[in-house]
A and B are shown apart, each in its own frame.
Chain A
Amino acid sequence: MTVILSGLILGFAFGFVLEGAGFANPECLTGQLRFSNWAVFKVMFTAIIVGAFLIYGARALGLIKLSDIFVPSVYFWGTLLGGAGVGIGMAVGGYCPGTSAVAMASGRFDGFTFLVGIGVGTLLFNAAYPSIHSWIYAQTGPDALTLPHLLRVSPWFILIVLLAALTAIGWMVGADKSLSHSED
């Protein structure tokens, strides 16, 4: 019951924010990849910085242990090529997995089609798995490798660099034109 409620409530908030950010709209999402709209970069980087600030802040206060939360390890080729696959998927199909679900929820039939495609891709991966798993899932470096650990700097230094990059790029590109959501 706790699992159901926690999943439903946190998922609801997640979907509500993604939709509010305009991420149900494939023109907004692919516009970032064409550099004609910067909302995806601004939202993603703000979320990463705020999330990181809260996680490392809670850790400093002793409320959270980094070893207790899930921090993914690097599987170099799997992580990099998998990211490329999801990026190509957005350029071609207009979405990534989460945004396609939100697009479907906002009435877009192509969001549903994209989700069907994810099922097809999952089955293709299952078929390819025996012949590719040894090299895509070869771990690089220690478990749960973080940037502060890899670069031997304080997490606060990384956060300041990320914040400076977001501020500089956000200032350079300025505010985005509001996309019309009801043109047809």
Chain B
Amino acid sequence: MNNALHRTWNPYIAGTALGVVLFVTFFVTDHGLGVTGATTSLTAVAVTIVVPNAFGPQDYLAAYARAGANTWIVWEVLGLVIGGFAGSLLGGRFMPKLDGPPRASSSGRVALALLGGTASGFGARMSMGCTSGMGLSGSAPLAAAGFLFLVGFFLAGTMFAMILKPLWRRRQTR
């Protein structure tokens, strides 16, 4: 019954805060916020730790492996994780669990998250940025690319969400 504690922020206040953080990032670093720049670096570096000469000059990931993981974007994503952890603790929303569609089994949830992540990781390389790096940081300076990304994102996203809708029906428990 401590619902007020768990409630998230008003969306317009959260959006304003996000816009201000984004502007400060542009002002300080000359670029916006992102995420998959870091996941791409970390993937490339992790592979080269296991297989030192995994990438040849024709490989997309060769440049990322050469640049290493000590980059602004990797530190930013580490900060993002710490910020999310701090926010969920302070807001009373931290809870270890396997989330996902209510009608999917545990293994189904793991499989869907893995599959969705794969589509997202592949897609974000095609568009050279994800919802943060392209959708948000591209659209704020009013780049046509940012809005084109959002069109593709919402069209394909809503189509697939409609197909998977039955999985998200709430169980009638109370």
Contact = CB atoms under 8 A, between A and B. Distances in A.
Nearest to B124: A86
* Majority SS at the chain A contact face: helix
B67 interface: no
Given A22-B8, A43-B14, A148-B142, A86 B79 contact: no
Chain A: interface residue count, which band? Answer: 35 or more
* Majority SS at the chain B contact face: helix
Contacts of B29: 6, 10
Contacts, number: 541
Interface string A38-74: 1100111111111111111010000110101111111
Contacts of A180: 3, 6
A98 B131 contact: yes
B80 A91 contact: no
B118 A124 contact: yes
A88 B157 contact: yes
B112 to A, nearest CB: 6
A34 B158 CA distance: 6
B93 A19 contact: yes
Interface string B131-174: 11011111111111111111111111111111111001000000
A51 B150 CA distance: 16
B173 to A, nearest CB: 9
Nearest to A130: B58
Interface in B51-91: 55, 58-61, 71-88, 91
B164 A66 contact: no
Contact of A125 (B17, B101, B126): B126
A47 B15 contact: yes
A90 B157 contact: yes
Contact of B127 (A4, A83, A117, A158): A83
B143 A84 contact: no
B88 A84 contact: no
Given A50-B19, A146-B144, 15 more contacts: A3-B71, A6-B29, A7-B73, A17-B18, A39-B8, A39-B11, A47-B16, A47-B19, A48-B140, A55-B23, A80-B127, A95-B117, A97-B39, A105-B82, A110-B110
